[in-house]
Structure 1
Amino acid sequence: MEKENPQVALTEDEFMSLVSQAQNQDPDAMLKLLEFFEPEMLWHTRFIRMPQEDALQHMRLALIELFHPIILQ
């Protein structure tokens, strides 16, 4: 039987606050968001045909790009 990882519990207001802080380049907020999504990302790596660590890194990068978009000038 699989063990459930205890997920970080956040209210909607706390989550939106973290997103806002991450968009303003707060590294601690970004780490908390990555930690929040980590169990879900680990579960999804089972369905991606590549090494688990590579799949996890791709998902982490996608989340970082989602919350911290690169602005080209």
Structure 2
Amino acid sequence: MEKESITNDMSEDAICQLIQQASVQPNAAAMEKLLRLFEPDMIQFARYIRMPSEDALQALKLALIELVLSGF
């Protein structure tokens, strides 16, 4: 079963709106969409981190959540 691809059909404005929804009024669904949106990039970055890939991916996801919730 394929995961829903949201990268191809989301504009920059839609991504910004999603970030705002996830940060201003903590919205679990918006945060989950953001994580799915950036997961392919995080998987690729995790290859270059010297730790088990699952741990590296988890650390990158946590960093994204912290960044969004801080209101960067």
> TM-score per shorter chain, which class?
0.7 to 0.9
Deviation at 1:12, TM superposition (A): 1.0
Look up the SS of the partner of 1:15 in the other structure. Answer: helix
**Higher gyration radius (CA):** 1
Q: Structure 1: how far apart are the matches of 2:64 and 2:29?
A: 14
| Corresponding residue number in structure 2 for 1:8 | 7
Alignment of 1:31-70 (within 5 A): 31-69=32-70
Q: Structure 2 unaligned segments of length 5 or more: list them.
A: none
Return the TM-score normalized by structure 1: 0.82
Pairing 1:28–2:29 present: yes
Return the TM-score normalized by structure 2: 0.83
Q: Structure 2: how far apart are the matches of 1:28 and 1:7?
A: 14
